[in-house]
Structure 1
Amino acid sequence: MVSRKQKKSLIREYVEAIAIAILLALFIRTFIVQAFKIPSGSMLPTLKIGDHLLVNKFSYGLRLPFTGALLVPWNKPERGDVIVFKFPKDRSVDYIKRVVGVAGDTVTIKDKHVFINGEAVADPHAHFTSPAIMSANAGPRDNFGPVTVPKDSVFVMGDNRDNSYDGRFWGFVDQRDILGKAFILYWSWDLEQPLFSVDRMTSVRWSRIGDLIH
């Protein structure tokens, strides 16, 4: 027979265990890794709609719990990094794009080709769905700049260049708004299929699970 004192001790142990688990989860989410999912095709073919990924929040520095403010920076984003950040036009929304230019770089796009500091650069992740070239007067999609990336900022673009709302349209990302670097896919399936349906379950992209993000 369990005494009242033993019951209280058992309840206390459960409460303490739950509290520790919650604090550990908050610590991990704030400082180490956070999960995100891809809702749009702006990063195709690198990232597909329905991909679920982990972001290393420790990549660029130590952040203040709950607010996400950068306390101690130690690394800076590099060209080619896939990052998650607070959208400059609405900081309640998180975006994911690829770093194309870093602080001090002069970025120019001519007929879809990227130039950094006046030199054409390898752009292996760029994907185009339209052969048409838009003039600068028609919009910044295919012809843009030159612009110089400000201090402590980055210039980002989606890999799906013809279908990405990115730095060409709204400017730069402050490094303080970068939440982390995407590094691995832990799940992937077709979001267009109804949840809890057979079609959704059979749409799991098993071959993508565990892929590193480059």
Structure 2
Amino acid sequence: MSIKANKKSTFREYFEAICIAVLLALVIRTFIVQAFKIPSGSMLPTLQIGDHLLVNKFIYGLRIPFSGKVLIPVRDPERGEVIVFKFPRDRSVDYIKRVIGTPGDTIEIKNKKVFVNGQAIDDPHAFISSATVLSGRDNPRDNFGPVLVPEDRVFVMGDNRDNSYDSRFWGFVDQKDILGKAFILYWSWDIDKPLFSLDRFTSIRWGRLANLID
């Protein structure tokens, strides 16, 4: 009788421990930190295809899942921060870009140069791959605006300016759709190599591991 009771007690302890671990993991992923990977080159050279990063979900406030409503405000996104958000035209897709304009800012792009409130900004992360300057309303890549960033919205751009689909093309990001701030790389390798192969293993970018995202 006592042996069966001990077995039942041990099973129950393991079951409870697993349930608690799963619950904690869900809470951490929902409210504190979440992992993402980079599938495209729109943030080159800051982020490379195959980078895996962690996103701080609490820094902009504790939010109700799915609705995006802030329960406990912390602070608003700031210019220059790299954020992950729900793509406005398809909220099932997550995007990552850099904040260029915050509410009340006037954004304008002249011949690839970004101006905020009439002043050219220091833009050290911008990567320009093409010397060609596009013009006209159908080509907002290099000449855009001016536009005023509305309340509770941000204007975002990819660091790979000539190869990024961002606010120049589809507009502002609602702050309730921001999932968090990217802050550290925890893994990086060439995802074009076969997964279970020596080539994939040798493609690990050891020098990028544990790098903070600026």
- TM (norm. structure 1) is 0.97
Question: For residue 151 of structure 2, what is the aligned residue in structure 1?
Answer: 151
Question: 86-95 vs 66-75, which deviates more?
Answer: 66-75
Please report how far the alpha carbon of residue 65 of structure 1 lies from its aligned counterpart in structure 2 after TM superposition.
4.2
Structure 1: tracts of 5 or more residues without a match: none
- Write the mapping of 1:84-123 to structure 2, written as runs, cut at 5 A: 84-123=84-123
In the alignment of these two chains, the number of paired residues is 214
For each residue in 1:70-104, what CA deviation from the matched residue of structure 2 results, as whole angstroms up to 9, or x when unmatched? 32222000000000000000011100000000000
AA at the equivalent of 1:81: E
- Structure 1 segment 24-173 matched on structure 2, within 5 A: 24-65=24-65, 68-173=68-173
Relative to the length of structure 2, the TM-score reads 0.97
Is the contact between residue 30 and residue 66 of structure 1 (CA under 8 Å) also seen in structure 2? no
Residue pairs, 1:178-193, within 5 angstroms: 178-193=178-193
Between the aligned partners of 1:37 and 1:110, the Cα distance in structure 2 is 32
Q: 2: CA distance between counterparts of 1:197 and 1:32?
A: 34
**Shift, 1:4, TM fit:** 1.0
The letter for the 2-side match of 1:122 is D
* 1:61 Cα deviation after fit: 0.1
Question: Runs in 1 of length 4+ with deviation above 6 angstroms?
Answer: none
Distance 1:2 1:112 in 2: 77
The one-letter code of the counterpart of 1:160 is N
SS of residue paired to 2:90 = coil
Q: Give the residue type in structure 2 aligned to 1:34.
A: Q
Give the superposition deviation at 1:192. 0.7
| Structure 2: stretches of 5+ with no match in the other structure | none
Contact 1:97 1:159 in 2 (8 A): yes
Which amino acid in 1 is paired with 2:21? A
Give the alignment's Cα RMSD to 1 decimal.
1.3
Write the distance in 1 (CA, Å) between the matches of 2:163 and 2:46: 14
Measured after TM superposition, the shift of residue 63 of structure 1 is: 1.5
Change (3 A) 1:131 1:2: farther
